[in-house]
Amino acid sequence: MNEPASTKSPLEWTVAGVLEEIASLNKSMPDRSLAFLLGSGASFSSGISTGKAMAENWLNELHIRECRDDLDRNTWIASNTLGIDGLTWDHAAEFYPRIFERRFRGDPESGFAALEAAMDGKEPSLGYSLLAEIMQQTRHKVVVTTNFDNLVADALAIHAHKPPLIVGHESLTGYVRAALRRPLVAKIHRDLFLDPKNDTVGVGTLEKGWTEALTRLFKHYMPLVIGYGGNDGSLMGFLNSLKSGDITGRIIWCYQAGSPPSALVKSLLVNHGGVMVAIPGFDEFMLQLAAKLIPNFDMAKISSRIEDLGKKRAVNYREQAQNLQKIVPAMISGVDQQATRQVLVEAFKDPNDWWSWEMRARAEADPEKRHHIYLEGITMLPSSAELMGNYALFLADTRKDFDAAEAMYKRALEADPKSAINLGNYAVFLKDTRKDFDAAEAMYKRALEADPKSAINLGNYAVFLKDTRKDFDAAEAMYKRALEVDPKNANNLGNYALFLDDNRKDFDAAEAMYKRALEADPKNANALGNYAVFLKDTRKDFDAAEAMLKRALEADPKNAIYLGIYAVFLKNTRKDFDAAEAMYKRALEADPKNAINLGNYALFLADTRKDFDAAEAMYKRALEADPKNANALGNYALFLDDNRKDFDAAEAMYKRALEVDPKNANALGNYALFLDDNRKDFDAAEAMYKRTLEVDPKNANALGNYAHFLTNDRKDFGAAEAIYKRALEADPKNANNLGNYALFLKNNRKDFDAAESMYKRALEADPKNANALCNYANFLKNHRKDFGAAEAMYKRALEADPKDAINLGNYAGLLFAKGQMDEARSVLDIAIELLNAKQPATINAECWMYAYCCAPLAYTNALIELKRLISEFSIRTGEWDFSGVIAQALKANHPESEWLPRLADVLADRASVKTLDAWTAWKAA
């Protein structure tokens, strides 16, 4: 569709400005009324696809049916195979009629059937309900629409209002009068069941009867356009044909925030002095408009009338009103959000209706004021089980006053012992907060006796059976019952997907279930977040996982769980540490007492930032928030072990972690490593490794550590290799295990080609793994004698971790061997500064040997340190090759040159330390 160029732009008002204008006209100009001009966007919140979405769906179907050369969809469209000039995916809405014709060519009846299916069973949203109230209670009784649905008429019927005059065919336009006794719904493209106009000819031209009828109407009714894009030629052509003065007042064109009108619409508005306004949504705007137009607007009374017509309709209405407080679209201004909340505060006035108190409380952003609203409401309605149950939720979730919350649950159940909602919520409280699992299960059973078909309680009980009782068969049966009751419950679909993923390991079924959850609710943050974790951990599709995490956080920007998961993803997968830290901080702003996020941020501060004081403070905060969080306890133990070298405190913390969760595989594995490395209690360590692998036979980290143990401490190389292979089956891309297996193949199997292949696999898995980089550099230097490649690899290792003493020491050794003495001494100085003198390791001996050979100013101190390391700590360097640095020392006429090879033999454990007894300098050291 060609759009005319316009040199002017129409006025754009705020929502508040439009509402004030309409309120003023309503009061001061009784001869002027509104005509609501509705397009498909108004029906979107009722579950009916917009014209744009239908056009896109038909294009997808045409692509599947007719593309025979594997072109992607957009390229295929651009090739103009469909014969629709100018068509692109982004502008599909503008070509809706021609796409419809093309899709249903040869069988137009199937097209009408598709339209009926799209609209069948759809209920009017809150916005339509409020439109019905406006049409019933005010003079604003006209709807002109391009839609085929019956949502306006249905809303009027639901509210038991006067049925409208529906003009669904041009032959009936003679009945359209300016003076109306009842609401009018003018369907200019005909009714759904009267051969609706959906093709190019029908949509492109307005019938003469409609031209005359609308000309009469618009002399008395001012158009308020909502959800209409102006993409047809009929209504849009008619509006463009009108002269200045043919429309009373001005056109007010509402558009969805973030999707401004086309140039054609803007040109129309300029010609008629109209204005445009970005609205948060049809429902939100109608709520604010109803508050302006309806005298003594009281939503509680509307609710009571609906309850008389049917309980189910009332529940749906309440849920939609409550959702307005939960959803905060990114495109909507804070002013409009606040306006919506304010209307909700003022719209519930009946002090004898519990829901009025509940909605007033929900609309209040200040928790303290909300608390007082609940107290005032319960004082007025001391027997309201519903209000007391919701107040108990508020006390537990917001105020964290668990004793008061439990007391209120008990009061609510005294008032109504068979309230399935309160019984179910109390069961969740007993499980999550009190950890009284037997009492919680008893409460779940009472809830399901009260209402055997409560999908929420069935789903929550399934989660309880899975997580707490570990009764997976019973849990699955309960999930299936829940989905029989409500096949579109997104929470239950998402939780069942998680069950299939974690417990059944049926990944294809899990993914199918995640997709069903997101079809049911595309903005369900839990389903989006859990699906993201599935894509990351199971499918290893990191780009898709990140996209899904972003969707989860768009749906719920303050969800501390998924903010924390995204932070871990940014740290571990993207290696974007600054972005990760920013996400950790957002997570802790959202929930300062989330023990998992506090513990993970502590791990980040220790491992990535090397800010050990800040890390320890964060671990302590995590354990204050949850003293029984096994992961935080285990990670803090690891911190005390690795960073503080406080082994007694570390062991105490490991034991606390395993008291809380005796089957925590990470804590078991790390404790095994602790017993191995620090206590040298090899039997206890092996027993702990075996416990770890009983709990989680595919724990790649534990398998790798156990293989290392079998290699170094048991010297059982056959068993070690078998465990390495199991570790790599469990996780073929675990860089640490790949690197350690490479070391094993080099040192123990002397299979250098296989070792090099394994090093390369390790670096493909993690190109910034400092240990693998350094070990590969050592391999290139010592076994391949490729010093250039080795130096490049050392530099990569130091880019990955500039403060790793081992990498620095090894690099210094290479530089010494190459004769780059000054540079080598500078690197060695940094390495020595980073050495742990209290708990020395092989690297200490290596660095001090380099210093003794090639750093004359350090000779005396270096020999003292070497003697201490060899004699007091029994440290040996194994097969480490000092020949290069000794050669440089001899070239520089080292004063003790004859003793350097003997010292190297002692370090390599090829000679006894007693062979140095005759060395004068050694005795003096």
pLDDT of amino acid 5: 40
Q: Is residue 713 in a domain?
A: no
How many Cβ atoms are within 10 Å of 410's Cβ, its own excluded?
Answer: 14
The single residue listed with the structure tokens 């790390």 is 670
pLDDT of amino acid 796: 95
Residue 270: is it exposed, middle or buried by C-beta count within 10 angstroms (0-12/13-18/19+)?
A: middle
Specify whether 864 is located in the same domain as 925. Answer: yes
Residue at which a domain ends, from 249, 266, 299: 299
Specify whether 472 is located in the same domain as 582. Answer: no
pLDDT of amino acid 118: 66
- CATH classification at residue 572: 1.25.40.10
Specify whether 605 is located in the same domain as 470. Answer: no
Q: Is residue 583 in a domain?
A: yes
CB 272 within 8 A of CB 242: yes
Specify whether 461 is located in the same domain as 599. Answer: no
Q: How far is CA 791 from CA 753, 771, 808, in A?
A: 20, 15, 11
Specify whether 155 is located in the same domain as 215. Answer: yes
Range of the domain at 401: 366-450
Rounded Cα distance between 120 and 474, Å, is: 37
Residue at which a domain ends, from 514, 532, 557: 557
Q: Is residue 399 in a domain?
A: yes
Look up residue 617 and give its two tokens: 């403070």
Q: Is residue 110 in a domain?
A: yes
The single residue listed with the structure tokens 């309880």 is 464
Residues of the chain with pLDDT under 70: 1-7, 49-51, 112, 115-116, 118-121, 158-162, 168, 174-175, 191-205, 303-342, 344-348
pLDDT of amino acid 190: 72
Rounded Cα distance between 42 and 48, Å, is: 9
Q: What are the backbone angles phi and psi of residue 145, rounded to the nearest 5°?
A: -140, 145
Give this prediction's pTM: 0.60
Specify whether 431 is located in the same domain as 282. Answer: no
Q: How does pLDDT run across 304-341, given as a tens digit for each residue?
A: 666 655 555 555 656 666 665 554 433 345 556 566 66
Specify whether 90 is located in the same domain as 36. Answer: no
Rounded Cα distance between 673 and 675, Å, is: 6
Q: Is residue 236 in a domain?
A: yes
Specify whether 443 is located in the same domain as 570. Answer: no
pLDDT of amino acid 332: 44
The set of residues, in sequence order, having a beta carbon less than 8 Å from that of 285 and lying 6+ positions away, is 15, 127, 226, 254, 279
- Rg of the chain over all Cα atoms, to the nearest angstrom: 37
Specify whether 553 is located in the same domain as 569. Answer: no
The single residue listed with the structure tokens 């100085």 is 829
Residue at which a domain ends, from 85, 118, 151: 118
Look up residue 823 and give its two tokens: 């540079």
pLDDT of amino acid 61: 83
Nearest to 138 by CA among 50, 53, 32, 215: 32
Q: How does pLDDT run across 656-705, given as a tens digit for each residue?
A: 999 999 989 999 999 999 999 899 999 999 999 999 999 999 999 999 99
Rounded Cα distance between 314 and 594, Å, is: 36
Rounded Cα distance between 754 and 769, Å, is: 19
Look up residue 575 and give its two tokens: 């290696």
Strand order of the β-sheet with 252-256 is 11-13, 275-279, 252-256, 221-226, 33-38, 142-145, 184-187, 165-167
Q: How does pLDDT run across 633-653, given as a tens digit for each residue?
A: 999 999 999 889 899 999 999
Q: Is residue 888 in a domain?
A: yes
Q: What are the backbone angles phi and psi of residue 13, rounded to the nearest 5°?
A: -105, 165
Burial string for 5-43 (b: 16+ CB within 10 Å, else e) reads: ebeeebebbebeebbebbeeebeeeeeebbbbbbbbbbb
- CATH classification at residue 134: 3.40.50.1220
Q: How far is CA 32 from CA 138, 186, 244, in A?
A: 12, 19, 17
Q: Is residue 734 in a domain?
A: no
Look up residue 94 and give its two tokens: 């503008």
The set of residues, in sequence order, having a beta carbon less than 8 Å from that of 305 and lying 6+ positions away, is 159, 160
The set of residues, in sequence order, having a beta carbon less than 8 Å from that of 770 and lying 6+ positions away, is 797, 798, 800, 801, 804, 807
Q: Is residue 221 in a domain?
A: yes
Specify whether 106 is located in the same domain as 155. Answer: no
pLDDT of amino acid 158: 66
Specify whether 42 is located in the same domain as 57. Answer: no
Specify whether 512 is located in the same domain as 587. Answer: no
Rounded Cα distance between 547 and 549, Å, is: 6
Number of independent structural domains in the chain:
6
